[in-house]
Amino acid sequence: MTKITMIDYGASNIRSAQKAFEHIGADVHLTDDPDVVRRADKLVLPGVGAFGSGMAGLRRHNLPEAIQETVQRGVPFLGICVGMQLMFTEGHEMGVHQGLDLLAGKVIRFPEKLSMVNGKRLTVNEPQSPISNLQSLKIPHMGWNELEPAWENPLLAGVQTGDYAYFVHSYYCDPEDATAVLAWTDYGFPFASVVAKDNIYGLQFHPEKSQSVGLTILQNFLEKL
């Protein structure tokens, strides 16, 4: 069995993430010990909640430096939901908070006024459409939405454009390097739903709630990276 070290810093979704990996055959070791993190073969950071409180939880256990050292060693690292957001330089939720800075960029809130026309996002070049065609988008972005892979990577092997994943979030990641975006999702505008750079990977959605698509991605992380 492939061993996964999953960082336990008080995130409320850690048990569901653990069960999803165990369902596909992983041996999951939960830990809040920096020394155990440094010895990891594959490292997963789940997360639900706010950016600032997530970073506070990591700091409480002296985990940021251990995570950074492990990633620099080349260990495959996967951030899930808020865990993906914590990978970035800073988060703008209830103030500005320093992140792990594994990827350059910011985590910012969706605009309050988002709309789509007939299921497609509005652009400035499109003619005005009848009001009846307008669909107001609520924040948080919650429910099923499509993935659009941007380039080939083993993490998304078997995932096609138009496959659905399950999202719950009010903030999105804005990477400085657009080539780090492995898949886009549209919610009034395209945002980064999957990121990848070297041995660093992130999923904005909940793979444990995304049925076969989510399990396929976790299996790819387990077996192909």
Q: Return averaged pLDDT per consecutive 10 residues of the chain, 225 residues in all.
A: 91 87 96 98 94 95 98 98 98 96 98 63 40 70 97 98 98 97 96 98 97 98 97
Q: Would residue 208 show up in a list of annotated catalytic residues for this protein?
A: yes
> C-alpha angle 78/79/82, rounded to 5°?
170
The residue whose two tokens read 């990121």 is: 195
Q: Give percent of the chain above pLDDT 70.
A: 90
CA gap 206, 45 in Å, rounded: 12
The residue whose two tokens read 């919650």 is: 142
- 120-176 pLDDT, tens digit per residue, is 444 333 334 444 445 688 999 999 999 999 999 999 999 999 999 999 999 999 999
Q: Taking the model in full, what pTM does it have?
A: 0.91
CA gap 58, 67 in Å, rounded: 10
Going by DSSP bridges, is the β-strand pair 148-149/181-186 parallel, antiparallel, or unpaired? antiparallel
Q: Which of 29, 61, 81, 176 is catalytic?
A: 81
Q: Would residue 65 show up in a list of annotated catalytic residues for this protein?
A: no
The enclosing domain of 185 has a CATH number of 3.40.50.880
Phi, psi angle pair for 96, to nearest 5°: -105, 125
Q: Which of 69, 126, 208, 223 is catalytic?
A: 208
Q: Would residue 206 show up in a list of annotated catalytic residues for this protein?
A: yes
- Split into its structural domains, the chain has a count of 1
- Residue 81 in contact with residue 50, Cβ under 8 Å? no
Q: Which of 65, 176, 206, 223 is catalytic?
A: 206
Which domain range does residue 146 map to?
3-224
